[in-house]
Amino acid sequence: MDIASIDVGGRRMCAQVRGHGPSLVLDCGGAGQGLGGAWGTGLEDDLAALATLVTYDRAGAGRSDGPQSRTVADMTDDLHRLLRGLGLPLPAVFAGWSFGGLVVQHYALRHPDDVAGLVFVDPTAARTPPGSALVRTLSFAFVSRALRLRALLPTASSRSIRELAGTLAALPRHMREVADAFERGTLPPVPVRVITAGKRPRMPKAQLAHLNSCHQELADGSPHGRLVVAEHATHQIPHEQPEIIRQVISEIL
């Protein structure tokens, strides 16, 4: 795998560019490691046959220099500098899965001229969910702590688990940051698709309603937006129903 290492202001970020045609940027989930088939090797190969495909590791994740960025704005500005360092033809279609959906939302708000289309794959909701903010913060802190303890075991996934733990610890703050950004602006008027999971784990009805409404609202935020349900998939849509992502991205391209 040919990896490019790009200076983004005193740090180096690693990316891979494959394929030909219109530009497509994939942003991965909370661990921040986008290289090495995070979306599924088969799906990424298929997308590289349709477009100039960019995958990358966020700052402080995988092969990219650290530490991890403290804000989503920093993550989007890192990506902005990375794409220019790569010489990628812009505007591009951006696809974000899970936490990557927050990064792509913020990127589109901050750098709208770079964006030709948006695909959100079961994205993390930016709006404040129902329930106690204190309980929510403590819950994320507990999960983050449990992941850090798990990462003490010397396994191949230890580093990605530690990086995911760091993202989850700051997730409530990241969600507020993106929600605040939406208070100041709107998505560019480009095609938008929100792919939502059809299979959900047990959760309170209010939480489920909140997630569903956030996904619908994100799709409705563009005159060219549409919600797509991956009926046979959980949150792991790229691995359980990759064909729906392939179809949607093909339409946007």
Condensed to tens digits (0 to 9), the pLDDT of residues 192-208 reads 999 999 999 888 898 89
The closest of 40, 42, 69 to 57, measured between CA atoms, is 69
User: What is the per-residue pLDDT for 143?
Assistant: 65
- The residue count of the chain comes to 253
Sign of CA dihedral 185, 189, 190, 196: positive
- Mean pLDDT for 85-94 is 96
Look up residue 218 and give its two tokens: 């994100």
Evaluate whether 176 touches 124 at the Cβ level (below 8 Å).
Answer: no
pLDDT more than 90, % of the chain: 67
Q: Mean pLDDT of all residues in the chain?
A: 89
Q: What is the pLDDT of residues 54-77, one digit of tens each?
A: 999 999 888 998 888 889 999 999
Of the CATH numbers 3.40.50.11810, 3.30.360.10, 3.40.605.10, 3.40.50.1820, which one belongs to the domain with range 4-127+185-252? 3.40.50.1820
User: What is the per-residue pLDDT for 122?
Assistant: 97
Q: What is the pLDDT of residues 116-155, one digit of tens each?
A: 999 999 999 998 776 666 665 667 666 666 766 776 777 7
User: What is the per-residue pLDDT for 128?
Assistant: 74
Q: Looking up tokens 């930016």, which residue turns up? A: 126
